[in-house]
Amino acid sequence: MGSPLRVLHVVVNMNRGGAETLIMNLYRNIDRSKIQFDFLTCKEGVFDSEIKNLGGQIYQIPYISDVGHWEYVRELKNFFIANAHYKIVHSHLDKMSGLVLRAAKQAGIPIRISHSHNTRSEGGRVARLYKWFVGNYIVPNSTHLVACSSDASNWLFKEKKTSTMILNNGIDPDKFIFSSEIRKTIRNELNIEDTQFVLGHVGRFNDQKNHLFLLDVFSQFNSEEKNSVLILVGDGDLRPEIEKKIKDLNLEGKVQLLGIRSDINHVLQAFDLFIFPSLHEGLPVSLVEAQGAGLPCVISDHISQEVDLGFKLIEYASLSNQSSWLEKIKNIKSTQIDRNGVLDLLLKSGFNIRNTAGFLEDYYFSLSR
């Protein structure tokens, strides 16, 4: 048997973000004797050692925010000239993929995939203007377009959205199935009693995830339901601001910041409700995981309807109406939710990672023939 087909994935780093979690889920589940993933990154990431153990190579160039536009473009050009043996480049940088795929095209790489994971650029006005500018390179320099949802496709590819392939953000169903034993273990670890009602959130501490709004909602809920706790999983630049807000709202002892965890599938078992007030999203893996764990979810109406897997676990609420969030949380608290029986639904939903990985495997082979 010949060498595996090597696909180069382009990311900023391989940390525990939504896109990166999906890529790792895919990597663990593809047939690595046939397809191998390599990575072009700009920074070290928590998945780096696992990638190397699975047989992947990691290349690193400086990121644009450290060296500026022209130096970043030069680094990309030099990298692709030196590595023009790749048949497939799969870029996950949203609008910044424009620069990556242009350099790949100039180096003669035949298959260039742009993958949309979001519905809006991050950063301030100047950063977003710059990303809009380089985003114009995507369509002329891509051979194939992929997105996690039709909203994400519409945002990044505009008039080309109809030729986009939707790739579901699949998860491993067995890992998320509800377990009362794991629930007990995690609650003991976090000093949470059986009788306490736990709201949980998983996501980076940045503007997009809207933690300050979330804290306001929880503060109102906790003033009426004293026996409630909020758990925030993640980290990021806004951590000091979030800590200050917790202090200002007198919520110390009521909110736990767990940092970045590698056992999200276990932590979800300890929650009673998943709360997710993002300003924008493509199709969040974390919401697929929450539904996989049988958790009721109250989420922002800015998130694609495609994230609702039909398990009757998703409630949308308006970001312009805090009281609607409160009402939905209280309704869920007063309802008995059966968290078992989700596994069969998830296996049939199209969000089973084994199906997604098999589909992607076939897709790569069909492109490379």
The angle at the Cα of 113, spanning 109 to 117, to the nearest 5 degrees, equals 150
Tell me what pLDDT residue 337 has. Answer: 84
Percent of the chain with pLDDT over 70: 100
Tell me what pLDDT residue 38 has. Answer: 98
Cβ atoms 285, 309 nearer than 8 A? no
Tell me what pLDDT residue 1 has. Answer: 59
Instruction: For the beta carbon of residue 183, count every other beta carbon within 10 angstroms.
Output: 21
pLDDT tens per residue, range 222-262 = 999 999 999 999 999 999 999 999 999 999 999 999 999 99
Cβ atoms 319, 279 nearer than 8 A? yes
pLDDT tens per residue, range 255-275 = 999 999 999 999 999 999 999
Cβ atoms 120, 156 nearer than 8 A? no
> What mean pLDDT value characterizes the chain?
95
For range 26-48, the mean pLDDT = 97
Percent of the chain with pLDDT over 90: 91
5-170+352-368: CATH topology: Rossmann fold (3.40.50)
185 beta partners: none
For range 155-181, the mean pLDDT = 91
Tell me what pLDDT residue 341 has. Answer: 84
For range 94-98, the mean pLDDT = 97
Residue 161: is its pLDDT beyond 80? Answer: no
For range 93-104, the mean pLDDT = 97
3-class SS letters over 72-118:
HHHHHHHHHHHCCCCCEEEECCHHHHHHHHHHHHHCCCCEEEEEECC
Tell me what pLDDT residue 310 has. Answer: 92
Terminal-to-terminal C-alpha distance of the chain: 16
The sheet that has 297-300: what strands, in order across it?
A: 255-259, 228-233, 197-202, 273-276, 297-300, 314-317
> In this predicted structure, which of 82-91, 149-158, 219-228, 334-343 has the lowest mean pLDDT?
334-343
pLDDT band at 369 (very low <50, low <70, confident <90, very high): confident
pLDDT tens per residue, range 308-327 = 999 999 999 999 999 999 99
Domain range list for the chain: 5-170+352-368, 173-348
Question: Residue 121 corresponds to which tokens in the numbers above?
Answer: 């650029």
Residue 340: is its pLDDT beyond 90? Answer: no
Q: Which CATH architecture has domain 173-348?
A: 3-Layer(aba) Sandwich (3.40)
For range 155-175, the mean pLDDT = 90
- DSSP code, position 38: E
Cβ atoms 297, 201 nearer than 8 A? no
Cα separation of 296 and 312, whole Å?
8
Residue 134: is its pLDDT beyond 70? Answer: yes
